[in-house]
Amino acid sequence: MTTRKPATSNGRFRSQEWFEAPGHIDMAALYLERFMNYGITPQELRSGRPIIGFAQSGSDIAPCNRIHLELAKRTRDGIRDAGGICMEFPVHPIFENCRRPTAAIDRNLSMMTLIEILHAYPLDAVVLTTGCDKTTPAGIMAATAVDIPAIVLSGGPMLDGWHDGDLVGSGTVIWRARRKLGAGEITEDEFLDMACASAPSAGHCNTMGTASTMNAVAETMGLSLPGCSAIPAPYRERGQMAYETGVRIVEMAYEDLKPSKILTKASFMNAIAAVAAIGGSTNAQPHITAMARHAGVDITDADWRAAYDIPLLLNMQPAGKYLGERFHRAGGVPAILHELAVANLIDTTAATVTGKTLGENIEGKASKDREMIKTVAEPMMERAGFLVLKGNLFDFAIMKTSVISKEFRARYLSRPGHENIFECKAVVFDGSTDYHDRINDPALNIDEDTILVIRGSGTIGWPGSAEVVNMTPPDALLKKGITSLPTLGDGRQSGTSDSPSILNASPESAAGGGLSWLRTGDMIRIDLNTGACDALVEADVIAERKTEGLPPVPESMTPWQEIYRSTVSQLHTGGVMEPALKFTRIAEKMPRH
Ligand code: FES
Ligand code: MG
């Protein structure tokens, strides 16, 4: 029996309400007995030690997170050594690349099921195992809603991929190889070779895609131990980090260091700044917004606009050259935050899981690899945050400016007297099947002055919101060397994409947004100086078209799709389940016997 008491309001762990069940020995017996069947003793469970959940996100169908099946062993060691008892359980898997119609529909499902587990079982704290894109926000949203001590353990990225002497990063290689295939430069076999070469080991995407971005966000918000997010999955430091994380979560359980004591507006603002500095995924916008809303923090358009001025500091694909191994060796997230702190661009007083401030955690962590991590004074690029746009087509959309290529800038953004302003003729696709069916149709007359528009790809329309906006130009243009066209849509795009699309447009077409009345042939004017994006269509014509109803969207195919559609918000507001937001600090109320 431990004599140490937790700093909870009643000086007890919530698991004691199950295993001691004061006044209910019959219930205590029931709660205890079945744990005996794998050899754990009643004495252990009634010792007053914290029960630490290990929320296992890895499985054979979640390969990006599969390393956690191994890491669990080291985390358990850490939990035991620190005086806790570990109970591992599965969470709803989310695998970005394979889940149809899109993994996005499962972020809220995974969150909701994890909330039920954390609330209803005798768990005092939890290790959130993260990796693939949505596994990070799903876990954080759940732990925040329940509000028990929680720590993020990333599985880490894969080793760097190499093909023919070139670095090939996951996801990014697909978009680049697809353009080469369309241009007739490579065969389908070569395409597959390049893709497979990008995935040389266990781990999640080795580019600064959504996975690395969201793990960096978690670390920046103070939810993981410093340096956790960038350690490649197979490195020995990954196992050591798993052990240290296990040790620390036991201490956090005693300290009652809950997400509500860590996550403030400052944590989220720091995360938004970090996303700009690392050239992070545009998916960070809905995920950060969703996590903030569950934490009771309001993120406004002005907050995103303010971060537009943050420079790009990290030389990593898709915005830069290198991959995850070099990022880790160059110092990882602490080194990025160090640069931002030196330039006063983040709030270093923010709290973290270490019990120290963010500033204390990153002291002395400046990078020595200036090819990989730049200073604010000499960045990769000035103003690399997401550009927020609005106009008659949508109230909110973003553009990832850190991936605007020289070629794109020269063609669209450098007309003398009209810098950063361009006008293009829309070609509108209803979802990705329509895009694939028609993109090479010569009758569409797609040329350099075309903007490719996709609708029906938002949270309701898809459902779940699809990564489809980074549309590749038709093969005929690829063969002429035109590798990217302006694109716009109410869906998302992969964080690994190097396309400067205008995406996450909200409200989406299926919710009556402006894309619903847009027609092929309409001119669209985009002004990156002011953030205005408008279809040049007269008001009376718009009003007339609005009477014609919304473009059709596919039917729901499962119960969850139907339920999801009835509760989900737009990407602008995080794609959250609105009715779920009223449940905060759920653990304060004990579930009844
Ligand atoms: Fe899972 Fe990229 S597909 S991390
Ligand atoms: Mg993705």
Confidence check: pLDDT of 323 > 70: yes
State the closest ligand 1 atom to the C-alpha of 171, by its place in the atom list counted from 1. 2
Give me the interface pTM, i.e. the ipTM: 0.94
Amino acid residing at 531: G
1, pLDDT greater than 80: no
Ligand nearest the Cα atom of residue 98: 1
State the residue for tokens 């009715």: 579
Listed range (405-414, 433-442, 525-534) with the worst mean pLDDT: 405-414
- CA-based nearest residue to 75, from 224, 294, 190: 224
Residue of 57, 100, 132, 215 with the most ligand 1 atoms within 8 Å of its CB, for mutation: 132
Do 463 and 565 touch, CB atoms closer than 8 A?
A: yes
Report how far residue 405's alpha carbon sits from residue 530's, in angstroms, rounded to the nearest whole number: 20
Amino acid residing at 386: F
Best probe residue, ligand 1, of 204, 215, 493 (max atoms within 8 Å of C-beta): 204
Q: Count of alpha carbons within 13 Å of 261, Cβ hemisphere only?
A: 17
**Per-residue confidence band for 5, with pLDDT thresholds at 50, 70 and 90:** very high
d(C-alpha 319, C-alpha 194), whole Å: 19
Distance from C-alpha of 356 to C-alpha of 359, rounded to nearest angstrom: 8
Task: Work out the average pLDDT over 418-423.
Answer: 95
Confidence of residue 161 (pLDDT cuts 50, 70, 90): very high
pLDDT tens digits for 560-587?
A: 999 999 999 999 999 999 999 999 999 9
Spatial distance between the Cα atoms of 103 and 97, rounded to a whole number of angstroms:
8
Of the pLDDT bands very low, low, confident and very high (cuts 50, 70, 90), residue 530 is very high
Q: What is d(CA 501, CA 452) in angstroms, rounded to the nearest whole number?
A: 10
Which residues are 75's β-sheet partners? none
Q: Which two tokens stand for residue 219?
A: 């670390």
Mean of all residue pLDDT scores within the chain: 97
The sign of the torsion formed by the CA atoms of 530, 533, 537, 543 equals negative
Q: Predicted confidence band at 3 (pLDDT cuts at 50, 70, 90)?
A: confident
Of 217, 241, 220, residue with least CA distance to 67? 241
Residues 372 and 322: their CA atoms lie apart, in Å, by 8
Q: Which amino acid is at 340?
A: L
Distance 171 CA to ligand 1 centre (A): 8
Q: Write out pLDDT tens, residues 257-299.
A: 999 999 999 999 999 999 999 999 999 999 999 999 999 999 9
Residue 57: pLDDT over 90: yes
Q: Cα separation of 456 and 158, whole Å?
A: 33
Q: For atom 2 of ligand 1, which residue has the closest CA? A: 205
Give 80 Cα–ligand 1 centroid separation in angstroms. 31
- Mean pLDDT (whole number) for 479-496: 94
Q: Whose CA is nearest to atom 1 of ligand 1?
A: 132
Q: Which ligand is nearest to the CA of 205?
A: 1
**Could you tell me the fold of the domain covering 389-547?**
Glucose Oxidase; domain 1 (3.50.30)
C-alpha 373, offset from chain centre: 22
CATH 3.50.30.80 range(s) for the chain read 389-547
Please give the single-letter amino acid code of residue 411. Answer: R
Q: Which of 285, 320, 323, 319 is nearest to 305 (CA)?
A: 285
Q: Is the pLDDT of residue 433 over 80?
A: yes
Per-chain residues with Cβ under 5 A from ion ligand 2: 96, 210, 467, 494
The pLDDT of 336-350, averaged and rounded, is 98
Q: Is the pTM of this model over 0.90?
A: yes
The C-alpha atoms of residue 387 and residue 401 are separated, in whole angstroms, by 7
Atom of ligand 1 nearest to the CA of 96: 3
Q: How confident is the model over 122-137, as pLDDT tens digits?
A: 999 999 999 999 999 9
Q: Please give the DSSP secondary-structure letter assigned to residue 256.
A: T
In the predicted model, is pLDDT for residue 437 greater than 90? Answer: yes
Partners of 429 in the β-ladder: 454
Whether the pLDDT of residue 541 is over 80: the answer is yes
Q: How far is the CA of 315 from the centre of ligand 1 (A)?
A: 20
Ligand 1 binding residues, C-beta < 6 A: 64, 96-97, 132-133, 170, 204-205, 209, 211
pLDDT of res. 589: 95
